[in-house]
A and B are shown apart, each in its own frame.
Chain A
């Protein structure tokens, strides 16, 4: 398994502001992932973050709105920019650890409420 921590665990933010979520892993991993879970919805992949290269975004997500950093193999950040109430969600980071890289390990999530 993997130890994954996220900061903050929750936050309440004002419309128009930005929030940066941090994800720390206990050992080096090549690929990290950021998901969003809106209320009553399924987990949706936002982007894949590789160390040393630009993040790869899924359809419907753009770098200007969700800039991602991956400065090393144990850390990543996701910024939710210019927030609106529709951004209220749980944001999760995850990674693959198995040798066949099937299983996703998830962080505890960051619960964001935008007023």
Chain B
């Protein structure tokens, strides 16, 4: 079955500390993976996608097919990173997205 798992509902870190938001997926083929973010009082928006191999706001995510993971990382957390983060898998060849349940990141001063 196609599934995205984010094991942590809440992750609290201190400002300047490294952050890793975990995401594991279950998919038999080659998935397309994304991280979406929702800041307080804002709508859900794309943060990054694995195809682009980009770093956005200091965040990176590497697709590990062996471990079926797509963890989101940032070496030094900032207070403005506090938000809800969703990992999502797009089924190739379709418009269907499967979202994880989300992790709330709190960056403490």
Contact = CB atoms under 8 A, between A and B. Distances in A.
Given A42-B86, A43-B86, A109-B43, A102 B51 contact: yes
B29 to A, nearest CB: 16
Contacts of A44: 99
A101 B95 CA distance: 8
A48 interface: yes
Interface string B29-65: 0001010100000011110010100000000000000
A31 B94 CA distance: 12
A69 interface: no
Interface in B52-109: 86, 88, 90, 95-102
A106 to B, nearest CB: 4
B95 A33 contact: yes
Contact of A106 (B45, B96, B98): B45
Contacts of A102: 32, 34, 49, 51, 90
B19 to A, nearest CB: 21
Interface in A1-41: 4, 31, 33, 40-41
Q: What bracket does the count of chain B residues touching chain A fall in?
A: 20 to 34
Interface of A: 4, 31, 33, 40-45, 48, 58, 92, 96, 101-109
Given A92-B44, A102-B90, A106-B44, A41 B101 contact: yes
A96 B95 contact: yes
Interface of B: 4, 32, 34, 36, 43-46, 49, 51, 86, 88, 90, 95-102
Looking at chain A's contact residues, the main secondary structure is strand
A103 B90 CA distance: 10
Contact of A104 (B4, B97, B101, B102): B97
Nearest to B38: A106
Contacts of B49: 102-103
A96 B98 CA distance: 15
